[in-house]
Chain A
């Protein structure tokens, strides 16, 4: 192989807003998948073909549609209690997506605000806040989740609280970094001279400038949070039956791995496809909003 074969000619994106979006390859498939997950989240049980908790031992361990004895009634097969896996995946989407959205909304607002305060005021305030962030980051998220679950017991609220407590630091760090450079801009100085209060500067002048960062960061965190929730539920420290979650389905399926490969594969694919879509949209948003951070 020769040296000059390593560098293909750079392709210039076509002009115009719409075509530029298309040039950057709008992630249609990812958006459709997340759309489907959103529909499952909103309608949940009511669009599921079967009762997600309906026991029917007569049809236990039915294989998925395309396998030898598969049938349309149970497109993704059934588990050890004869529950329809497809219906359970639809129902479980709610836990995954809602916990992610909840947690990200809170973590983003808290972390964002703390980061703004830290970056804007600097000095001792900044030092204290950044030490707090360090301390928070020195406890691995799952370890902290174990402590909290040990003390308070495990349920949906524990999951959301742990995620908020863990993820606000990311926002705080990154937003602080942005504010450090933003606050040196002329328009902030002018706003101050013009007599704007701190509140106005924060929410009129600084916030709009960090919205892109917040949006990108949040999208990229959806996947992580979904995996985190699944891990907690898998360990038995998150969502508890009779609620349905993808992580919990995997925990159940672990018990009869030898009998039904589909029971362990399907919920995992649901997690993977959802995270993959969220990550791809996140990457795309980052590339679109912030070409500097685009990977080489």
Chain B
């Protein structure tokens, strides 16, 4: 068990270091990274100083070590648009992104659990078909388009929800739906197939035999076990939301990491892009890691024997 945890944590660390190498080298591929890292109107003296600081005359691997060393102390350079350390800037936007991802996750579960359970209980009925259709639609609609349609209907025509920005709880509703729609399909399938397995198990049949009410059996006893696969995989969906947030935040002017990075790309504020992407990768790897580790804790039947 400990061995497994250590191995997985080590793999996670390798992934993060690897991601930083990828991001670092992509920035070097364009030729002179000074062009990316300093504003075009920077005076020659500053350029020269940065060149020495970053060791741009050294071999590339040494440059990476300098970059990594600085990164470990939290120094990713300055955003030249905001004149502030890039890391602080991105960290400041992180709570908004995490909040949005959690809200989206909550929305998807709220739909997926009832859909999944009902599709399993009434297998082959119109509910099952409706659930499938709904899920297929969700996977075929780009999240930003869902967002734009929501704005069109609820902000412009009905005028009951704010179209963009933050400030009230109502502001998060549309971005959360736009972001949370996509995983509903997969989550519904997971709940449905887990539920089918559980409903077929001995203890449910036993419950039926002693005359327990069907709804108590389904919603209380069966769902509790059928939810395990969904709960364990939530981290994966959380991670996926972080990726999707880049577009949805832009649509709704949501002040999170995604929008900050997208804006930074356009103002050619590369230090911010670099931190934002690296931070997203770290979160991504961490939540996937937690998923792997959580299997054993949530379901004691699974142990890491091997």
* Residue from A135, A261, A276 with most neighbouring chain B CB atoms (10 Å): A135
Closest to A11 in B: B124
Partner of B19 from the list A2, A138, A253, A268 (CB cut-off 8 Å) is A138
Contact with B along A247-276 (1 / 0, CB 8 A): 100100110011001001100100111011
- A146, A254, A273: the one contacting B246 at CB < 8 Å is A146
On whether A223 and B139 interact (CB within 8 A), knowing A1-B121, A146-B265, A231-B247, the answer reads yes
A175 to B118, CA, bound (A): 35
Check if B26 sits within 8 Å of A147, measured CB to CB.
Answer: yes
Query: Number of contact residues on A: which range applies?
Result: 35 or more
Interface check B78, CB cutoff 8 A: no
Most chain A C-beta atoms within 10 Å of own C-beta, residue among B11, B27, B122, B246: B246
From A1, A140, A264, A279, B149 is in contact (CB under 8 Å) with A264
Interface of chain B: mostly helix, strand, loop or mixed: helix
Q: How far is the CA of A147 from the CA of B14 in the complex (A)?
A: 20
Q: How far apart sit A239 and B154, CA to CA, in the bound complex (Å)?
A: 30
Known: A134-B11, A296-B196. A257 touches B268 (CB 8 A): no
**In the assembly, what is the distance between CA of A253 and CA of B145, in Å?**
11
When distances are taken between beta carbons in the complex, the residues of chain B under 8 Å from A273 are 140
Cβ of B179 under 8 Å from chain A: no
CB neighbours of B148 from chain A (8 A): 250, 253-254, 257, 264, 268
Q: Is the CB of A143 within 8 A of B246?
A: yes
Quick check: A135 and B262 within 8 Å, CB to CB?
no
Chain A residues touching B, majority SS: helix
Instruction: Say whether B145 contacts A268, CB under 8 Å.
Output: yes
Interface hits, B112-143 → A, CB 8 Å:
120-124, 136-137, 139-143
Chain B residues whose CB sits within 8 angstroms of the CB of A253 once the complex forms: 148
Q: C-beta contact mask, B17-51 vs A, less than 8 Å → 1, else 0?
A: 01101110011011000001000000000000000
- Residues of A near B14 (CB, < 8 A) are 131, 134-135
Bound-complex Cα distance A250 to B247 (A): 13
Q: Is the CB of A135 within 8 A of B22?
A: yes
Interface residues of chain B, those whose CB is within 8 Å of chain A, are 11, 14-16, 18-19, 21-23, 26-27, 29-30, 36, 120-124, 136-137, 139-145, 148-149, 151-152, 156, 189, 192-193, 196, 199, 208, 214, 239-240, 242-244, 246-247, 250-251, 261-262, 264-266, 268, 270, 273-274, 276-277, 280-281, 284-285, 288
The 29 listed contacts between A and B (C-beta, < 8 Å) are: A1-B121, A1-B214, A3-B214, A131-B14, A136-B22, A137-B15, A138-B15, A138-B281, A139-B19, A139-B22, A139-B280, A141-B243, A142-B243, A142-B246, A144-B277, A148-B26, A149-B265, A152-B29, A223-B139, A223-B140, A227-B142, A254-B148, A257-B148, A257-B151, A268-B145, A268-B148, A268-B149, A272-B140, A276-B140
Beyond known contacts A131-B11, A142-B246, A147-B274: 18 more, CB 8 A cutoff: A3-B208, A131-B15, A135-B19, A138-B285, A142-B243, A150-B264, A151-B29, A237-B265, A250-B148, A254-B148, A264-B145, A264-B148, A264-B152, A268-B142, A272-B137, A279-B139, A295-B189, A296-B192
